[in-house]
Homo-oligomer: A and B are copies of this chain.
Amino acid sequence: MFRPQIKVLDCTVRDGGLINKWQFSDDFVRKVFIALSKAGIDYMEMGYKSSEKYFSRDENGAWKFCTEEDLKRIIGDYDHKMKLSAMVDIGRIDSEDISPKKDSVLDMIRVACYAKEMDKGISLAHQCLDKGYEITINLMAVSKVLERDLDEALDDLSKSHVPVVYLVDSFGAMYSEQIHFLAKKYFAALPGKELGIHAHNNQQLAFANTIEAIIAGVNRIDATLYGMGRGAGNCPLELLLSFLKNPKFDIRPLIEVIQEIFIPIKAETEWGYHIPYMITGTLNEHPRSAMKIMESKKMPNLREYYEELRDGTPLD
């Protein structure tokens, strides 16, 4: 699949940080940054931009905040063509905490929001647009949104100045048919806008669903190194690059950095395909309770966990 319009965004540090509260060393983040840059990746998402009014640096690593100082420590004077982004969550940052683009090394702000708070999402996105950033809205957890509510959110988006909207399978619950259905719906509802895809791997479908979205015309693609990300993780960047035929990409720096730092970290950090994540994925539930099981290191009876979650009485 060669389509020059396709842009790849790596969100390893941002989504992977949901596992370890963004406790990555500067050395780790810099190695990721350099590898992605060498591989020709279009965007690197450095983390979340959140306010220290709401979150503490004692509990969270730098990539929960992404201040200019944090970012500049990593970039240094490395000559790169990659654009940099940060994600913001509604209610976890105020517009005044986001400096104008001219004072930032960030190129793009991605606003994550749920359908029910689309008004707040669009408002924050417009403020970032006014500050000079590229913006996107990542409409989360749509596998749980009733079609009428989704249509309303898409209608709001169609009237906004947001140029890029992401289809997000937060729970890793979707099959290719649903990706295809939703991509078609989004394109129809959002004329003139670009679509993106962000998939989770609970059912080992993150890469396949990403391919399905690409076939459906989606051009903004999220992936992470070695699939690192919350719960079952994401679409592995190294697989995506093998699929995309485009001379600007080079998979080899990714293989190097995976061998150097991701294979070791995987041995001690639980992301990827595990039965608790499979269960929340197939039942279309938030991975919260599965993450608690994985963190506890003591598995409960998984058959009972499945039955309880299926019957509506989750463990948490």
Interface residues of A (CB under 8 A from B): 175-177, 201, 203-209, 211-212, 215, 226-227, 236, 238-239, 242-243, 251-252, 255-256, 258-259, 263, 272-273, 275, 278-279, 282, 299, 301-303, 306-307
Contact = CB atoms under 8 A, between A and B. Distances in A.
Copies of this chain, tallied across the complex = 2
B207 A303 contact: no
A255 B306 contact: yes
A302 B203 contact: no
Given A242-B282, A258-B275, A273-B272, A204 B303 contact: no
A282 to B, nearest CB: 4
Contacts of A201: 204
Given A176-B212, A238-B275, A242-B282, A252 B204 contact: no
Contact of A278 (B238, B301, B302): B238
Given A238-B275, A272-B273, A282-B242, A259 B207 contact: no
Contacts of A243: 175
B275 A259 contact: yes
Contact of A259 (B212, B239, B299): B299
Given A175-B243, A208-B209, A258-B302, 14 more contacts: A175-B211, A176-B176, A203-B242, A204-B207, A204-B208, A204-B227, A204-B236, A226-B275, A227-B273, A239-B278, A251-B306, A255-B303, A256-B302, A256-B303
11 contacts: A203-B239, A203-B242, A204-B206, A204-B208, A208-B208, A252-B303, A252-B306, A255-B302, A259-B301, A263-B275, A273-B273
A305 to B, nearest CB: 8
A72 B204 CA distance: 36
A227 B278 CA distance: 13
A255 B215 CA distance: 34
A21 B252 CA distance: 34
Contacts of A301: 259
